[in-house]
Amino acid sequence: MKEFIEILKKNDLLKVFEEPVDVDLEIAHLAYIEAKKPNGKALLFKNPVDKKLNKKYKFPVLMNTFCNELALNLAFGRDFNEVADEISKLTKMHIPTNFKAKMDFFMTLLSLKNVPPKRLKANKALYDYEILSSLEELPVLKTWEDDVGKFITMGQVYTQNLDKTQNNLGMYRLQISDKNELLMHWQIHKDGANFYHEYKNAGLKKMPVSIAIGGDPLYIWCGQAPLPKGIFELLLYGFIKKTPAKLTPCENGIFVPYNSDIVIEGYVDLEEFKIEGPFGDHTGFYTPAELFPVMKVEKIYAKKDAIYQATVVGKPPLEDKIMGLGTERVFLPLLQTSVPDLLDYKMPENGVFHNLILAKIDAKYPAHAQQIMHAFWGVGQMSFVKHAIFVDSKAPNLDDYNALIPYILNRFSVNKILISEGICDQLDHASPNACFGGKAGLDACEENETEELEILEDEKLLELFKSKIELINLKQFYKESKSPIVCILLDKKERILGLFEKLLDFKKHFRILVFLDANNKLENPYMLVWRVVNNIDAKRDIFIKQDKLCIDATAKSRLENYERVWPKQTDCTKSVIEDLILRNILEKNSELFEKFEIF
């Protein structure tokens, strides 16, 4: 980690804070705002403190490690697109038919010899470590005001299955519940949770777990990589670096990288659960308090010059945008092995990855897009995707939104919407049931015959709509397309379906209606997209009548038979921001604060 910090510094990607900064909200808020800047950098806090506890920490804190594409390439040791190309070539290998092809085949196989991790025979790494008395010695952050407490957010969680034939590296948030106790937030679909059930079903009472923090930053990227079940994530490290990850054993039998800055080892008690959360997570909303397993910490090692690595999650864009970009590019070739007619895909960061995916396909026959939608929803972590939009090979580049969105809207038809149901991310709050809910796909691969609309100015359309329903304001987006999007703000007092039906009297003036709560800003489409794809469950909130589409993106309650607690969104604590500005630690940037709804 120290070496990578020097690399960041040499590439002008590091901002250093010498002054004391609080682990309670201040560090996280600074990183949160920095990540939203077009030229944001990694942040190194040399003197973290806890003002409430009157405590100084000896270990510096590094935030926003993956601050941009250059930082990602530096962590990879090469361009991440090069890694994607190499994987693509591997997926297309065939039996060699001549001498040159045989040599190329042999050299390719030879290049893979350093992929498997290397286990050191002895615990060589720990001689330079000191043993800490408790988790209280680590500068663990509290990110958001309504978080229940402090969370480790960049912990590499290492586990193995019962017969030790499979190893797993996962990235799960870890709440500190006592000075030597953590709560393990592994979601129901994750390999760590599957191993947990193996141990429990065998009648055991403990499951060994080790957590590494710091070391080579590529470890943490590998930890979030969507590899197929049973494949150890550090194989990907060896493939990218062309050198094996070197692992050293903990006393509990779990192996971790030898150059980790901090190692926490212990076991998960298979019979004890505690309430974990709430926590402001990467969706930009607080996740509910729920029961999760307890990890008992037996030993904590730390390098004498250790760096504590952390991240901040919340409303986009954040560091996970860059990590997700690497995942998107590197895993495209692997996804194409299951979906061969997939040409490209894009995970917009304001769709928080699993809430919205754009895909370009080689559409060869009617309903080809619908076929691929089902394939997406059945492939690994792609099965968590809630909303997918498919375009054909002639469509603009998927990251050229200004050209792509009108292209989609000119091919929009309610008859090309597929609504289904399946598993969803456990952090999703819109579905009426935790872990599964509605999904929607749109086939925009071919032009459709649609009735031409009579487009009105916003003021005139607002006047018409107000004659039927109570609303605050509206705005039409992409009025030059065949299917403009009409966003409506209102203080909801009745179900949206009834309001939609009343507005059908004016159906010649619209094709798509999106209803939102009054706290939205119509002049900020980036955040509108974020809120819409977060807040809808396709089976409950999408209505189609008389060839018109209505989307209910308002907060849900018992009015819609929603029995869960609708969460708050993650907002910075205004007094903390104002104090940082007053101390000249943070520059006031009203435009940025407004654009990304900091408060």
Count the Cβ atoms, other than its own, within 10 Å of residue 592.
Answer: 14
- DSSP letters along 377-404, please? TTSGGGGG--EEEEE-TTSPPTT-HHHH
The reported pLDDT for the residue numbered 126 is 54
Estimate to the nearest angstrom the gap between the alpha carbon of 401 and the chain centroid.
20
Distance of CA 526 to CAs 357, 487, 490, 596, Å? 15, 13, 19, 8
Of 390, 364, 365, the closest CA to residue 376 belongs to 390
Residue 60 near residue 178, CB atoms below 8 Å:
no
**Cα dihedral 415, 421, 424, 429 sign:** positive
Of 557, 562, 476, the closest CA to residue 522 belongs to 476
Query: How is residue 142 annotated by DSSP?
Result: B
The reported pLDDT for the residue numbered 93 is 61
Task: Express each pLDDT in 415-466 by its tens digit.
Answer: 999 999 998 888 899 998 888 999 999 999 998 888 899 999 999 999 999 9
Instruction: Quote the pTM value.
Output: 0.93
Residue 57 near residue 49, CB atoms below 8 Å:
yes
Exposed / middle / buried, residue 167 (Cβ in 10 Å: 0-12, 13-18, 19+): buried
Estimate to the nearest angstrom the gap between the alpha carbon of 547 and the chain centroid.
34
Query: How is residue 101 annotated by DSSP?
Result: H
Of 592, 462, 586, the closest CA to residue 526 belongs to 592
The reported pLDDT for the residue numbered 266 is 97
For residue 326, the SS3 value is helix
Q: How do beta strands 174-178 and 151-152 pair? A: antiparallel
The reported pLDDT for the residue numbered 114 is 79
Backbone φ, ψ for residue 463 (5° rounding): -60, -45
Of 329, 304, 369, 346, the closest CA to residue 83 belongs to 329
**pLDDT tens digits in sequence order for the chain, 599 residues long:** 999 999 999 999 999 999 999 999 999 999 999 999 999 999 999 999 999 999 999 999 999 999 999 999 999 999 999 999 988 887 766 666 676 656 665 556 666 777 899 998 765 555 578 999 999 999 999 999 999 999 999 999 999 999 998 999 999 999 999 999 999 998 777 777 888 899 999 999 999 999 999 999 999 999 998 887 888 999 999 999 999 999 999 999 999 999 999 999 999 999 999 999 999 999 999 999 999 999 999 999 999 999 999 999 999 999 999 999 999 999 999 889 889 999 999 999 999 989 999 999 999 999 999 999 998 888 778 889 999 999 999 999 999 999 999 999 999 999 999 999 998 888 899 998 888 999 999 999 998 888 899 999 999 999 999 999 999 999 999 999 999 999 999 999 999 999 999 999 999 999 999 999 999 999 999 999 999 999 999 999 999 999 999 999 999 999 999 999 999 999 999 999 999 999 999 999 999 999 999 99
The reported pLDDT for the residue numbered 391 is 97
**Cα dihedral 435, 438, 444, 445 sign:** positive
Catalogue all structural domains in the chain, each as residue range(s) with its CATH number. Answer: 2-309 (2.30.110.10), 339-562 (3.40.1670.10)
Neighbouring C-alpha atoms within 13 Å toward the C-beta of 202: 13
Of 122, 117, 150, the closest CA to residue 136 belongs to 150
Residue 324 near residue 316, CB atoms below 8 Å:
no
For residue 141, the SS3 value is strand
The reported pLDDT for the residue numbered 95 is 67
The whole-angstrom separation of Cα 266 and Cα 252 is 7
Query: How is residue 228 annotated by DSSP?
Result: P
Backbone φ, ψ for residue 512 (5° rounding): -130, 125
The whole-angstrom separation of Cα 57 and Cα 543 is 54
Neighbouring C-alpha atoms within 13 Å toward the C-beta of 101: 6
| Cα angle 124, 125, 129; round to 5 | 125
The whole-angstrom separation of Cα 265 and Cα 212 is 9
Of 309, 133, 147, the closest CA to residue 217 belongs to 309
Of 437, 474, 444, 456, the closest CA to residue 564 belongs to 437
Estimate to the nearest angstrom the gap between the alpha carbon of 265 and the chain centroid.
26
The whole-angstrom separation of Cα 512 and Cα 11 is 47
Distance of CA 358 to CAs 30, 138, 393, 545, Å? 31, 41, 13, 25
Q: How do beta strands 436-443 and 387-391 pair? A: parallel
